[in-house]
């Protein structure tokens, strides 16, 4: 049965609930930093000011909320979100929406026993962010938090994650859709979603109860024309996987565990400037793409050395690592050669096509069997 609530009544209940959360959060005004590393905090402040300059006429609607009374933690968390959120979020939502999400994230941390065990950087990148993928945003964090409290409050962190996944399965099931990603509350009303929507929904639900979560994606399988997305949750000090809306008796169980042993890439996106210990596939201004393949399959780092027609090393060349799927060579990763003409890539032990090109339109390509080759010269 679809649980599409009367919008006015739901908004009134949400307002009352959020007001209570905000009042509780506002009771403590002592100086506790959300970002304890001063160097990183200064970088966030610099990026926040740069983002502010991009908003033009929307500055008041977005940043006016920073004039409200809030704790140091809340203020720094808001600066972190503003500094690294995509431009479309700055255009589509106002500052109050983001402040509500910040306060709900802290409320979850303070409500559940595992909240204080989550490291600062893990919380910053994988609990606080209001967005998982490219979904439309809604008030899911508030709705999910309120509904899940009685189901997980007295559980261990592991059991809570498993219970949340059962709850997710009660709400939506798998059905193929289009490339757009429905909002979490929208998914409840339709009662279905593709794997990318199920994993967005499940990661949102886990974050709503203070469990770090991220959508994990293999862009192309090695054995079949398709891709898949699932969820990793940080449980008791370790990232562990689960099939989104596919409950299992334990963590690290899923139909995709076998195929993942043969995959050539598994990655996730970390919101903001990432300085953690996991392998960074590529860093961008607003997020970092992490290479998680080692969590699922044996890997090997390959080196491609690109040379010019004169045999000399070629810095600044583009190297594409392609996997054959859907009758094309899909680019798993694109790298640029360093000053020595070398590009590195850690991948699985299968076959890939390596394509190197320069700015003048010159190119070369070769098949590479990763299991037997660690260096290729083009």
Report which of 324, 229, 238, 305 is spatially closest to residue 267, judged by C-alpha positions.
Answer: 229
Size of the chain, expressed as the number of residues it contains:
378
Question: How high is the pLDDT of residue 57?
Answer: 87
Question: How high is the pLDDT of residue 279?
Answer: 96
Structure tokens at 105: 């994230």
Domains assigned to the chain: 7-295 (no CATH), 299-377 (2.60.40.1120)
Q: With the CA atoms of 156, 208, 268 and 242 taken in that order, what torsion angle do they form, in degrees rounded to the nearest 10?
A: 40
Residue 5 scores a pLDDT above 90: no
Q: With the CA atoms of 308, 314, 316 and 319 taken in that order, what torsion angle do they form, in degrees rounded to the nearest 10?
A: 70
CB 145 within 8 A of CB 164: no
Question: How high is the pLDDT of residue 15?
Answer: 54
CB 318 within 8 A of CB 338: no
Mean pLDDT, to the nearest integer, of 150-156?
Answer: 96
CB 360 within 8 A of CB 344: no
Q: For 135, which DSSP code?
A: P
CB 209 within 8 A of CB 152: yes
Q: Quick check: helix, strand or coil at residue 185?
A: helix
Integer Cα distance of 289 and 284 in angstroms: 8
Mean pLDDT, to the nearest integer, of 202-230?
Answer: 97
Question: How high is the pLDDT of residue 178?
Answer: 85
Residue 72 scores a pLDDT above 50: yes
Structure tokens at 275: 């300085």
What whole-number percentage of the chain has pLDDT above 90? 87
CB 54 within 8 A of CB 87: yes
Q: Quick check: helix, strand or coil at residue 315?
A: coil
Structure tokens at 136: 């439309």
Q: What is the pLDDT of residues 22-68, one digit of tens each?
A: 555 444 445 799 999 999 999 999 999 999 999 888 999 999 999 99
Least confident segment among 4-13, 71-80, 227-236: 4-13
Integer Cα distance of 184 and 219 in angstroms: 22
């Amino acid at each position: 049965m679809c649980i599409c609530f009367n919008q006015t009544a739901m908004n009134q209940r949400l307002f009352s609930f959020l007001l209570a959360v905000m009042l509780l959060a506002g009771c403590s005004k002592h100086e506790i930093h959300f970002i304890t590393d001063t160097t990183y905090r200064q970088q966030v402040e610099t990026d926040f000011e740069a983002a502010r300059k991009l908003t033009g006429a929307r500055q008041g609607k977005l940043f006016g909320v920073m004039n409200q009374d809030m704790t140091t933690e809340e203020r720094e968390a808001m600066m972190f979100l503003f500094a690294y959120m995509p431009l479309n979020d700055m255009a589509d939502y106002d500052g109050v929406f983001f402040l509500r999400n910040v306060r709900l994230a802290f409320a979850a941390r303070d409500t559940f026993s595992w909240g204080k065990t989550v490291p600062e950087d893990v919380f910053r990148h994988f609990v606080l962010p209001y967005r998982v993928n490219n979904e439309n945003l809604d008030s899911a964090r508030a709705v999910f938090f309120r509904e899940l409290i009685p189901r997980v409050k007295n559980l261990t962190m592991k059991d809570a994650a498993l219970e949340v996944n059962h709850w997710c399965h009660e709400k939506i099931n798998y059905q193929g859709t289009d490339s757009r990603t429905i909002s979490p509350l929208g998914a409840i009303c339709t009662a279905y979603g593709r794997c990318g929507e199920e994993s967005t929904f499940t990661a949102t639900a886990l974050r709503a109860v203070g469990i770090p979560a991220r959508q994990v994606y293999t862009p192309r399988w090695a054995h079949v024309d398709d891709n898949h997305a699932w969820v990793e949750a940080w449980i008791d000090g370790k990232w562990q996987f689960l099939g989104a809306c596919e409950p299992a008796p334990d963590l690290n169980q899923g139909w995709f565990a076998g195929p993942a042993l043969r995959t050539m890439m598994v990655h996730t996106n970390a919101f903001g400037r990432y300085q953690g210990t996991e392998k960074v596939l590529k860093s961008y201004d607003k997020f970092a793409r992490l290479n998680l393949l080692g969590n699922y399959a044996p890997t090997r780092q390959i080196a491609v050395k690109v040379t010019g027609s004169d045999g000399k090393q070629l810095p600044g060349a583009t190297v594409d690592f392609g996997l054959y799927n859907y009758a094309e060579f899909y680019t798993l990763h694109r790298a640029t050669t360093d000053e020595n003409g070398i590009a590195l890539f850690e991948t699985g032990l299968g076959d890939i096509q390596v394509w190197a090109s320069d700015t003048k339109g010159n190119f070369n390509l070769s098949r590479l069997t990763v299991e037997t080759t660690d260096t290729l010269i083009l």
